[in-house]
Amino acid sequence: MSNSGSLICVGTGLNLAGQISVLSKSYIEHADVVFALVPDGFAQTWLERLNKDVRSLQGYYAQPGEIKNRRDSYEQMVEAVLSEVRANKRVVCALYGHPGVFACVGHIAIKRARQLGYRAKMEPGISAEACLWADLGIDPGYSGHQSFEASQFMFYGHQPDPTTHLLLWQIGIAGEHTLTEFVTNSERLQVLVELLNQWYPLDHQVVLYEAPNLPIDKPRIESIELQQLPEAQLSSITTLLVPPVQRLQVNHQVLAKLGITEADLG
Ligand SMILES: C[S@@+](CC[C@H](N)C(=O)[O-])C[C@H]1O[C@@H](n2cnc3c(N)ncnc32)[C@H](O)[C@@H]1O
């Protein structure tokens, strides 16, 4: 059996045409077939100008009136991609943002392709988080940061560090456990507010962030109080930023072992 097929998962960034790497764009141009999950029709059309065989993966999501588990959608997307790899094509999977950040299809497809003996790799892209730091003027290295998928944060015992920035992805489906709905509701968001209230006051200012998908658009940067979250307008592209509420805590034990004091930290 010839294993000349290959798979490269690339990230297209969030903003149309301008946030993709030179290398990723070149892979798209030279692919036999390109599978795509991009934010809108403009991005899809742009891809179709780069390659004559671009196939959207959007159709594998539940269609209006259909109830479908997202895991089934992802499985079908992976199978669609792999069927062309098995046909020994040079396949590119173009996923918006970074193809492997809070996105499972690329990771699963690459793993399976490799198990089958095909060459497969991922090229990084500009994620929503990368845009957020730029648009909000925050260096996450200043106090550190944590990122969680919002529902996972609610379902499991994650401990936020209130001295760092906390990002909650997929806030628009927070608390949705069936993997069949694409929205959350105010009751679930109230549960999240009460959970976060263990570390943050109810009037703590949090930020609803949406990076623009078109160069002519501006980012959505909306500050609200934590307690207003259940009534906030959220969409599938909203990310929640919870800024730190406490100053960094000095670790005196470690400083003592290093022979330095708090004053030495400047
Ligand atoms: C399935 S994840 C995909 C993330 C994507 N792979 C990336 O690198 O940004 C979807 C989540 O990413 C975040 N996201 C996607 N598009 C966004 C945008 N335009 N602005 C802010 N966050 C966005 C939201 O938290 C959204 O619920």
96 carries an active-site annotation = yes
pLDDT digits (tens, 9 = 90+) for 158-215: 999 999 999 999 999 999 999 999 999 999 999 999 999 999 999 999 999 999 999 9
Q: What is the Cα–Cα distance from 104 to 152, expressed in whole angstroms?
A: 15
Paired tokens of 120: 């497969």
pLDDT tens for the chain, 266 residues: list them: 578 999 999 999 999 999 999 999 999 999 999 999 999 999 999 999 999 999 999 999 999 999 999 999 999 999 999 999 999 999 999 999 999 999 999 999 999 999 999 999 999 999 999 999 999 999 999 999 999 999 999 999 999 999 999 999 999 999 999 999 999 999 999 999 999 999 999 999 999 999 999 999 999 999 999 999 999 999 999 999 999 999 999 999 999 999 999 999 98
247 carries an active-site annotation = no
| Ligand 1 pocket, CB under 6 A | 14, 97-98, 101-103, 127-128, 169-170, 172, 209-211, 213, 236-237, 239
27 carries an active-site annotation = no
Burial of 115 (0-12, 13-18, 19+ CB in 10 A): exposed
Q: What is the Cα–Cα distance from 115 to 217, expressed in whole angstroms?
A: 42
Paired tokens of 49: 């100008």
Query: Among the options 27, 60, 70, 188, which is catalytic?
Result: 70
Angle (CA) 68 72 78, round 5°: 140
Angle (CA) 219 223 248, round 5°: 105
Residues 6+ apart with CB under 8 A from 58: 37
Instruction: State in Å: Cα 195 to ligand 1 middle.
Output: 23
